[in-house]
Chain A
Amino acid sequence: MYTIGAKAPVAPIAKPVAPVAKPTAPDADHDDLSWAPPPSGQEPPVSVFGLRRSNPPPSPDAASEAPLPSTTRIEGRAKAEVEVQVDDADIAGLLDDLEDSVDALLDDIDAGFDRIVTSPGTDKGTGTEAGFTEHETREVRELFTQIAAGHMRPVRDFMIELKLGDPPREWIDLVRPAVSSLGKSAEGMGLTELRAATDVYLEALDLVVKSETSRITPEQAKELTDAFDLLASELPGAFDLNEERDRREPIIVQSLLRQVPEVRKVALDKLYAAGLTSLDMYYAAKPYDVAQAAGLSEELAGRIVKRFAQYRRETSVGAPDLERTHEHKKMAVLVAQLAQQTEAFDAASKSWSSRATQDKKKLRTERNDTVLELNVLLARLGEVDLVKQLEKLPFQGKVDALRAYMAEVKERAAAEGRR
């Protein structure tokens, strides 16, 4: 079995934390919600697939052996239509499993914190008040931070999405209970400043809820960012975003740029030299600005700005959930598409006809575009190491690795459902 981040044994946090107990290692096994790599210093070892291997892998053909009951039609950038077979039954099952698990996962958040603050001897007061030594108090707080790091993943994801795109308001439904739970736990631990910070953040969320705007406005985003910065200053171990965002954003920016026809090395170098390296710059820029800054034609700059605007729209649709179901569903489609393009390319390579030669050229471009789309999606999900591993694999290897990844997603969702 491949595991992503971790799974199952919840035992470590089920055990009462005795005052003298050694803090449990920041193992991802505690991170029931972890999808993206945990914050700095907590990343699990990465296998060839960017995943951790704990048991023998499932059959690489598992996905292809499954029934393929329906067909989805996708229109690619090159206006070539590709028919992709996607296992809708699997996706529906995945969705059901994930929806069922969300409530249980949220309950875990409360339970996790409760276990700390109600541990024998703590008496719901601060550590020192309950008779802890300073060293013990520090250990308890470290453990608190470690657990919070896992449980605050939706908050981090939301803030990264806010930075990288235009996330739907529904994210608030996921984020609010987590922060609220953290606030209560902080109060129980006597962490009054953290409690105050969670209140500020909750107020910022409430402002969005009450505003009745269809999207999160720039002003609201700023309020949220400021409030989040306050949280991060109180509990940096759980809310540090910078490293994670710095890993994801360059991949997204470059992959989006390379999806624009005629953006090759020369244009990329000019754009980067002009300092146009972040998503928000492209969201804000006008074609004229990009053309002037980078020395590109306004026509090309227009296509670039348009691509980023399209991406921003894409990130704003789809109901969010803890397991990023929308993104995984899209990934399943893209993986199936890449598999089919690879198969068709190999078939064309075996033929000497001029038609096959033309097909091969077209497919070469199309599958490169599919990989770029997958890179964007994987980077959004925090699977940066997987992106880097995929680059080194031949196309069939990419397909196999992605199928293994999807199988793990499915298995993990099923495990959550059983819990």
Chain B
Amino acid sequence: MADYSRDEVLAKVRGGEKLARADLRGLDLSKAVLDKVDFRRADLEGANLEGAKLKGANLANANLVEAYLKDADLRDAKLDKADLEGANLERANLEGADLKRASLEGATLTEANLSRALVVNASLEMADMGGAKLEGATLSHAEMSEAYLGAAKAKGADLSNADLSRANLEEADLTEANLTEADLSEAKGPGANFTKACLQRANVSQAVLAGANLTGADLRGADFTRADLHGAKLTGAKVFGATFSEANLDEIELEFIDASTDGDGTRRITGDAALEMLRSGRPSAEVPGRRYFGKGDVMRNAALEFGDNSFVEIESRFEKCSIALGAGTELVVGDAGVLQSCTIEGAGNIIIHGRFLEEKSPGIVGPKRLIVSSRGAIQATVHQPEGHTQFAFEPGSRLRLNIVRPDDEKGR
């Protein structure tokens, strides 16, 4: 039983009283004017707040489980850590609202306006966000597995590190959205628009993105293993380090791709070569400056030098070799590649899926970037150049590293 009746609540609001911690369960407050009211930690479970005016209200930590908030005005409301599980927020206006760490599990947000809302670390599992407005919203690290985002308008939204596994993104507009390191595994996004979106290092494995528009999207380091990209548009996509193994690439629209490390368009691959690169995961033989050392070969005591902006992939075994990399050169040690007692020197980018095991220290000198994937292993001392090295280590990578600063010969 609620502490107060509707009339008592309205009287308190008129008198400027707080309703923090009040027990208001199941109360009918539909269409009530409750702007800027303090409802912190109030219990509003199952309350009817249909069309209520709650602009700027403080509902932090409030219990709004299964509350009915259809058409409610919650602009700039504070809802951080509020429990909105199973709540109905259809067409609610949450523009600029603070929903940090809020629980919206199974909530209905159909056509709700979440523009500029802060939804960081919120739980939105199985939430229905069909047609919701998410322009400029921040949903980084949000749990959104199995959520429905069909026809959602999320242009420029920040969904970095969000869990969107098994989510439905059909025909959603994610133009210029930030999906860096997001988990989109097994997501369904037929017809979704990812134009110029950033999906760097995103997990898109087994996702269904048939007919999706990925024009100009940044897919560097993303995993599209067994993804369905049938009929998708990939022209201008930045694909360095992306994996498309066993992906369905039938009838994709592809005029060119950007295979440069920095995604700056300096390595543009066109036509069949581009498709071949996506299918095989590496540039085709026609690409100038490409060197490939295949499986089964062994090379010992060799000195290899690669010019600027080359692409080198090693699936062989190298022993006691010295490798010099020109500026912008990419050296990929494939899954089967092993560099035993070798040294690498130069301002290149090194990506290790296989193994690098040094004997003489430092094994690696002056790299611009060093990435070790989840499958890779490295035992080495890395001497950084002036301006430092960019490091990226995927979870699961095996590391025994001694990183030496350019001004610190002692290492750390």
Point out residues on A near B: beta carbons under 8 Å: 264-266, 269, 361, 364, 391-397
Contacts and interface: CB of A to CB of B under 8 A. Distances in A.
A262 to B, nearest CB: 8
B172 to A, nearest CB: 9
Contact of A266 (B50, B88, B150): B150
Nearest to B45: A394
Contacts of B46: 393-394, 396-397
Nearest to B111: A265
Given A392-B50, A394-B46, 19 more contacts: A264-B128, A264-B130, A264-B150, A265-B110, A265-B128, A265-B148, A265-B150, A266-B130, A266-B150, A269-B131, A361-B125, A361-B146, A364-B86, A364-B126, A392-B68, A393-B46, A394-B45, A395-B86, A397-B26
A265 B88 CA distance: 15
Contact of B151 (A269, A393, A397): A269
Contacts of B61: none
Interface string B12-33: 0000000000000010000000
The 9 nearest A-B residue pairs measured at CB: A265-B130, A394-B66, A394-B46, A266-B150, A392-B68, A265-B150, A266-B151, A266-B170, A364-B106
B interface, by DSSP: helix, strand, loop or mixed?
Answer: loop
Nearest to A396: B46
14 contacts: A264-B130, A264-B150, A265-B130, A265-B148, A265-B151, A266-B151, A266-B171, A361-B146, A364-B106, A391-B88, A392-B48, A393-B46, A394-B26, A394-B86
A394 B87 CA distance: 9
B168 A264 contact: yes
Interface in B41-57: 45-46, 48, 50
A394 B170 CA distance: 29
A261 to B, nearest CB: 11
A269 B130 CA distance: 11
Interface of B: 26, 45-46, 48, 50, 65-66, 68, 86, 88, 106, 110, 125-126, 128, 130-131, 146, 148, 150-151, 168, 170-171
Nearest to A349: B85
Nearest to A297: B190
Contacts of A266: 130, 150-151, 170-171
B66 A395 contact: yes
Nearest to A357: B125
Contact of A361 (B26, B68, B126, B130): B126
Contacts of A395: 66, 86
A393 B66 CA distance: 8
B249 to A, nearest CB: 20
Nearest to A368: B106
Contacts of A269: 131, 151
A393 B128 CA distance: 18
A395 B67 CA distance: 11
A264 B148 contact: yes
Q: Which among B45, B66, B88 has the greatest number of chain A C-beta atoms within 10 A?
A: B66
A264 B111 CA distance: 13
A394 B43 CA distance: 14
A361 B125 CA distance: 9
Contacts of A396: 46
Contacts of A397: 26, 46
A301 to B, nearest CB: 15
A102 B66 CA distance: 42
A257 to B, nearest CB: 13
Contacts of B110: 265
A396 B26 CA distance: 11
Contacts of B65: 394
A393 B26 CA distance: 8
B28 to A, nearest CB: 9
A394 B68 CA distance: 8
Contacts of B45: 394
A396 B50 CA distance: 19
